[in-house]
Amino acid sequence: MVDLSTIKALTWDVGGTVFDWHSSIRREVSRLAADRGVEVDAAEFARDWRRGMFETLGRMRAGETPRMNADRMHRLALDDVLDKHSTLELKPSERDELNNVWHKLDVWPDAPDAIKTLRGRYAVVVLTILSWSIAVDSSKAAGVRWDGILSCEFLDRYKPEPEAYQQAARLLRLEPARVMMVAAHYGDLRAAAVAGMHTAYVPRPRERGEGHDSDLSPLPEFDVNATDFPDLAKQLLA
């Protein structure tokens, strides 16, 4: 069990962990389809779009495409998704407008109060592959207040490369062992552990939509396994 007195900062994944991207995207795509009188599987569209962004990120990390932020990654992925879901026809300007939906993501209802409470003991900082402006705009709209926001667009590397987590710790003037990564994704937490951070897992059922959850089981390899955000706050403030 980690000695919580040694932890000075919590770094947070937000895409999926704090913000409900799937519901946000599905709702907007459903609205657009209804306005045009066409049929679109909005839930699948949302998953395809998110997956396409990560595929673009993978190519960028491999040096196959120029460095770009998540806004550009989402916009490039959107063209491919619209090719697949061809009943939804959008002009370039309409595609640009749809891309802005990532700046208006819903927050999971149990997150804001827990984050506010945890700021009483810890430095609570975003560490995300999303663009800085996505994190700022979605946080502001949802009333979520942070001590700071670190986007990988300003770091030398993108998560899940260990250097991204280590650079975040350096910017906080802390050793990685004094920082705990909070996320709903096994891969993010495992990469943070490789970088020397402690880890807290918070599952987000239905992050990818009904019936599309990955394994949400708690794992003993993580320092903290919470059932939800109130439980996370309870454990970290014990």
Give per-residue pLDDT as tens, 167-212.
999 999 999 999 999 999 999 999 999 999 999 999 999 999 988 8
pLDDT at 138: 98
If asked whether residues 8 and 122 sit together in one domain, one would say: yes
Give per-residue pLDDT as tens, 119-164.
999 999 999 999 999 999 999 999 999 999 999 999 999 999 999 9
Distance CA 57, CA 63 (A): 10
Write down which residue in 77, 103, 129 finishes a domain. 103
Distance CA 132, CA 141 (A): 14
Give per-residue pLDDT as tens, 40-53.
999 999 999 999 99
Give per-residue pLDDT as tens, 218-228.
999 999 999 99
Could you tell me the pTM of the whole model?
0.96
Distance CA 159, CA 165 (A): 7
Domain residues for the domain of 52 are 21-103
CATH number at residue 45: 1.10.150.240
Write down which residue in 71, 103, 135 finishes a domain. 103
If asked whether residues 135 and 34 sit together in one domain, one would say: no
If asked whether residues 197 and 212 sit together in one domain, one would say: yes
pLDDT at 31: 97
CATH number at residue 131: 3.40.50.1000
pLDDT at 218: 96
If asked whether residues 9 and 122 sit together in one domain, one would say: yes
